[in-house]
């Protein structure tokens, strides 16, 4: 496993943690503002997670390789 793969996995774990925080935020601070901020954060984090982390386990090295 190379360094770029390790960094990608770390980013994906951080995005998962951000989604979890977005879910837990309104539970600890119940108000409409925190509900809106949590929902917006979840939408952004899920969008990034789907774009960067889903379905790239085997194809990651093939897709991003610049040397043919």
Q: How far apart are the first and last CA of the chain?
A: 20
pLDDT (mean) for 33-48: 92
How many whole angstroms separate alpha carbon 22 and alpha carbon 33? 12
Please report the sign of the dihedral spanned by the C-alpha atoms of residue 36, residue 37, residue 38, residue 39.
positive
Confidence of residue 64 (pLDDT cuts 50, 70, 90): low
Which pTM was predicted?
A: 0.71
What is d(CA 12, CA 4) in angstroms, rounded to the nearest whole number?
12
- The residue among 23, 24, 11, 14 whose CA lies nearest residue 56 is 11
């Amino acid at each position: 496993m190379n360094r770029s793969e390790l960094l990608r996995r770390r980013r994906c774990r951080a995005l998962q943690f951000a989604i979890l925080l977005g879910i837990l935020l309104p539970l600890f601070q119940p108000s409409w503002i925190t509900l809106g901020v949590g929902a917006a954060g979840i939408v952004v984090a899920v969008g990034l997670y789907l774009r960067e982390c889903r379905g790239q386990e085997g194809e990651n090295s093939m897709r991003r390789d610049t040397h043919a």
